[in-house]
Amino acid sequence: MTDKDQLPEGATPLDPDEAAGLKPGLTTRGELNAFEQTNIAQAVLWARKSRILRRDLLTIDSLKLLHKRMFDDTWKWAGTFRATGKNIGVEPYQIQTQLSQLCGDAKYWFENDTFPIDICAIRIHHRLVSIHPFPNGNGRHARLTADLLLLFNKEVSLTWGGQSLDVDGETRRAYITALRAADQNNYDLLISFAKRQ
């Protein structure tokens, strides 16, 4: 990537080893975004038909597999937990434990009707973003996880603000503000954002 390519607000910077894991010879952030989007689009088609994910999306192996499929044409480390600290997320040694706890909590929520299913999906999304298990792509992975949970339960998809979150702008700022409020256990903004037209 060229130095002039700025990360969008709230994006996770990669360390040099992670950046070296870029597979294709892309030179600008725009090229990378377009390439990743193609990779993700293929993963979405696969995920919607996946028996593995439909049977049990809320396992560590399934979450890693989904990330791998979303980014395997782009990053050598796709589907691999990060080994470095970031500007967001738990310490690397806590990732496995925190994901296990999230999967257990989510299954409990579903089995006991703790929240409506769309609220469960939004809360799972938030926890995945907060844990930040991968070097990059965590927000997109968390949003797709939530969308798949709804799809597999025959529920309506979320809009996630109705616009791209990959570039700086009002929609991305509203998303980050909503995530920060959810960090303080106030989910109202994130719920409104996720359902906004």
Kindly report, residue by residue over 49-93, the tens digit of the pLDDT.
999 999 999 999 999 999 999 999 999 999 999 999 988 999 999
pLDDT band at 197 (very low <50, low <70, confident <90, very high): low
Average pLDDT over the chain, rounded to an integer: 91
CB proximity list for 139: less than 8 A, separation 6 or greater: 129, 165, 175
Tell me which DSSP letter residue 58 carries.
S
Q: Is the distance from CB of 162 to CB of 196 less than 8 angstroms? A: yes
Determine the 3-state secondary structure of 75 from DSSP: strand
Q: Is the per-residue pLDDT at 117 higher than 80? A: yes
- What was the pLDDT predicted at 112? 96
Please state, in angstroms and rounded to a whole number, the distance separating the CA atoms of residues 126 and 50: 23
**For the chain, percent of residues with pLDDT exceeding 90:** 75
Q: Is the per-residue pLDDT at 4 higher than 70? A: no
Q: What is the 3-state secondary structure (H, E, C) of 116-143?
A: CHHHHHHHHHHHHHHHCCCCCCHHHHHH
Helices 60-71 and 138-152: angle between axes, nearest 10 degrees: 120
pLDDT in tens, 171-182: 999 999 999 999
Q: Is the distance from CB of 59 to CB of 53 less than 8 angstroms? A: no
CB proximity list for 83: less than 8 A, separation 6 or greater: 92
Q: Is the distance from CB of 152 to CB of 121 less than 8 angstroms? A: no
Give the amino acid at 34.
A
Q: Is the per-residue pLDDT at 109 higher than 50? A: yes
pLDDT in tens, 157-167: 999 998 888 77
- What was the pLDDT predicted at 5? 55
Q: Is the pTM of this model over 0.75?
A: yes
Q: Is the per-residue pLDDT at 6 higher than 80? A: no
Does domain 16-195 match CATH 3.40.50.300? no
